[in-house]
Chain A
Amino acid sequence: GAGVSQSPSNKVTEKGKDVELRCDPISGHTALYWYRQSLGQGLEFLIYFQGNSAPDKSGLPSDRFSAERTGGSVSTLTIQRTQQEDSAVYLCASSPSQVDEKLFFGSGTQLSVL
């Protein structure tokens, strides 16, 4: 597609439920990044993929968070047993390669945990 696509754009869930957030990067971009944007906290790095592998998972907040990428394209971020503190905007970005410094961002998924 023309840009990075994320779905859903908004997700409201109950505490304790699992959620899946999807990212469809720009075609041909091999690097894919997930960030979390919380109110007043800036953008917090979660994980990045080079192809289908994730060399850096250091930003995942807990073992309730996981991510995968298949076919070097679509990525899914899964949050199990959601907590209220997980409420945030989850942003995905892609770039042509791992060492390319310019990232292209999607519009994000606004997650609200009630």
Chain B
Amino acid sequence: GDSVTQMEGPVTLSEEAFLTINCTYTATGYPSLFWYVQYPGEGLQLLLKATKADDKGSNKGFEATYRKETTSFHLEKGSVQVSDSAVYFCALWAHNTDKLIFGTGTRLQVFP
């Protein structure tokens, strides 16, 4: 079945460091891909999305490019801030079942 695999955390960085969180997927057809973020004490919220190959989703300085050839959707940010500390979830929308399938989440901790 469809699935998402993302790197285990926690990822610990200093402020202004470069961030990459890896995500790969397995799916039939061409799913839409997402990154959701969960800040401490808050619900999950959509960070960015991409709906087809080579699309780049971006928001709040974060970017991810839909790579069909490598079935990946890695999350990147050039300069992280302490306020980016959260858990990040990669997800795909399985069109044949109309539901979001999530990875296990990656905790990011940014220190001043």
A residues at B contact (CB < 8 Å)? 3-4, 33, 35, 40-43, 45, 48, 56, 91, 93, 98-99, 101-108
What is the chain A residue whose CB lies nearest that of B93? A101
Number of interface residues of B (CB under 8 A): 22
Instruction: Indicate whether A108 sits within 8 Å of B43 (C-beta atoms), given known contacts A101-B34, A101-B49.
Output: yes
Interface centre among A3, A40, A43, A104, by most chain B C-beta atoms within 10 angstroms, is A43
Are B46 and A42 in contact (CB-based, < 8 A)? no
A-B contact count (CB 8 A): 51
Give the shortest distance, in Å, between B26 (CB) and chain A (any CB).
15
Bound CA span A4–B34, Å: 20
Bound CA span A104–B100, Å: 12
Instruction: Indicate whether A56 sits within 8 Å of B43 (C-beta atoms), given known contacts A41-B104, A42-B89, A43-B89.
Output: no
Are B99 and A45 in contact (CB-based, < 8 A)? yes
What is the chain B residue whose CB lies nearest that of A33? B99
Bound CA span A41–B99, Å: 18
